[in-house]
Structure 1
Amino acid sequence: MAAETDALISQLNITARRVQAYLDVKLKPLNLTVNNYYFILKINQDTPLTQDQLFKRIYLSPSNVTRRLTQLIDLGLVEKQRNPQDGRSWTVTLTVKGKALVPQVEQIIAQVNATAFNDLVTTQQEELITALKLIDHNLA
């Protein structure tokens, strides 16, 4: 029996949605979602971060980044200020409350990774990352 034409894309899509749904459930107690937790980790890695730098790291449209940042600002997790070196751009930083969530988010991500990739040995996980990066590169 021949494989479905869209078997690879279909499975990638199904798996991604399932991981996202699972992650949403785990992040809910922190009032975060799969759509915004990532900002907490990225902003924490490099602060202060300009909004432009964030657009490039997250690979979302500026309007999506702005909308999600607004959610995090409303939750008191992120602050946005005019860039002191360039009054035209904005910098984003975590608040004390946002920084306090970082270890909890990292723990949840570790738990989700452990569950999702439980049956893959380290070399298989590394090969999967390499394959996904290659797919990403092919589409760039």
Structure 2
Amino acid sequence: MTAEIDALISQLNITARRVQAYLNVKLKPLNLTVNNYYFILKINHDTPLTQDQLFKRIYLSPSNVTRRLSQLIDLGLVEKQRSAADGRSWTVTLTPEGKALVPKVERILAQVNTDAFGDLPPVQQSEMIDALKLIDHNLA
């Protein structure tokens, strides 16, 4: 009975770690990881973006977001500036180098999606997304 109780959570954890490890290998040539590539895409999509807005969209603690942004700033991919509208907040934007990575990251993600999920018909992929969203909703 214990194996059945743990089966879903265990498999979800194993698969997530395996996908993350695979994605890390693919992102390494760009000096990105599964921990920070998402910031590049999110900032590119929503620029200008305040650091507080980023906290809310990424579902990480402010200290984790700050640490990962610092890594991307050190790599020359992200800039952080005081907001002109509100001197108390910070806005984050991609540098030209960061913007140049966006299509490369998107190609890597498309390939990893194909490698990981390509054997699933599009209907099952869509159902999987819906199921994961439902799980996320149930835990919110």
Short-chain TM bin: over 0.9
Amino acid at match of 2:69: L
Which secondary structure does the structure 2 equivalent of 1:92 belong to?
strand
Structure that is richer in helix per residue:
2
Match of 1:94 in 2: 94
Matches within 5 A, 1:23-62: 23-62=23-62
Aligned partners of 2:65, 2:94: CA distance in 1, in Å?
A: 15
Matches within 5 A, 1:117-128: 117-128=117-128
Match of 2:114 in 1: 114
Aligned partners of 2:134, 2:16: CA distance in 1, in Å?
A: 17
TM-score, normalization by structure 2: 0.98
CA displacement at 1:55 relative to structure 2: 0.5
Q: Which ranges in structure 1 are unaligned for 5 or more consecutive residues?
A: none
Amino acid at match of 2:21: A
RMSD, matched Cα: 1.1
Match of 2:131 in 1: 131
Corresponding residue pairs, total: 140
Match of 1:67 in 2: 67
- Runs of 4+ in structure 1 over 6 Å off: none
Q: Which ranges in structure 2 are unaligned for 5 or more consecutive residues?
A: none
